[in-house]
Amino acid sequence: MQTRGVSPPEAALDAFRVEGPGQPLPGGQQGVWRFGGTVLKPLDTDLPLLTWMAGVLTRLDGRADLRVRVPLRAAGGAWTACGWTAWRYEPGSHLAGRWHDVIDAGRRLHAALEAEPEPPALRARTDPWALADRVAWGELPAADHAGTPHLSVLTAALRPVAGRRQLVHGDLTGNVLFSPGLPPLVIDLSPYWRPPGFATAVVLADALVHEGAGPEVLAPLRADPALPQHLLRALVFRLVREHLQHPAERDRTEDRYAAAVERAVRLAG
């Protein structure tokens, strides 16, 4: 997703001790800007969740196997200023087709997060991503989204799936960046309390639906017996989120998801 051009106000630049002009960066819902060694972007989560996230990312900082983008405090110690947040800049870019490298980075991340407790703030989320996640895991009724293309086919194929739940990054695909000679950079932690295999399956679903991958993208992971069920849930997750945010685009959604849904249901059969 491209930056939409919303730039931080002068008061935010002053609070985070940066000077313009800034450089717009790809990504983000409302605009991401680089000012030297600092990245500014609008606050896109609840403040308690951001505060918790700052602690998790600080604990991950400095690892040799992966990098993270840590938040920076404004003057006075706050995590936000004028509705904006600041993050340490790290070099890296999204490289299309590196799906298995993204999955590998996610595995490293999830191994590092294994002992993290579930944050209470997760259960209070009501954004489209959180609601879609709950539908995918049977915690909210799929019937509330009747008419969403392919949803009934996917949910009919769902079966119980084993796997320890832990803190995972549920949106790795565009948020693992690469730079020559450096470990992968994981940004924009999207926290969910699910088995790590679900986060892997979301990457696969994105590859199949949005990035032109063929069925061969699944081959290296077919030894995992839980993969088919995770992939079904990943597709439900993405479909319901799109339905919640873009209900007028059902026809286009149906076309984009058709082949991936067919493969997932066949794999689960």
Domain residue ranges of the chain, discontinuous segments joined by +: 10-88, 99-268
In the chain, the amino acid numbered 65 is D
In three-state secondary structure terms, 31 is coil
Give me the CATH topology for the region 99-268: Aminoglycoside 3'-phosphotransferase; Chain: A, domain 2 (3.90.1200)
pLDDT on residue 87: 98
Closest to 17 measured CA to CA, from 44, 45, 37 = 37
Mean pLDDT by 10 residues, the chain (269 residues): 67 95 79 95 92 96 97 96 97 95 98 95 92 98 91 97 95 97 97 98 97 93 94 98 88 88 95
Q: Which residues contact 53 (CB under 8 A, 6 or more apart)?
A: 45, 71, 189, 191
CATH number of 10-88: 3.40.50.10710, 1.10.490.10, 3.40.50.970, 3.30.200.20? 3.30.200.20
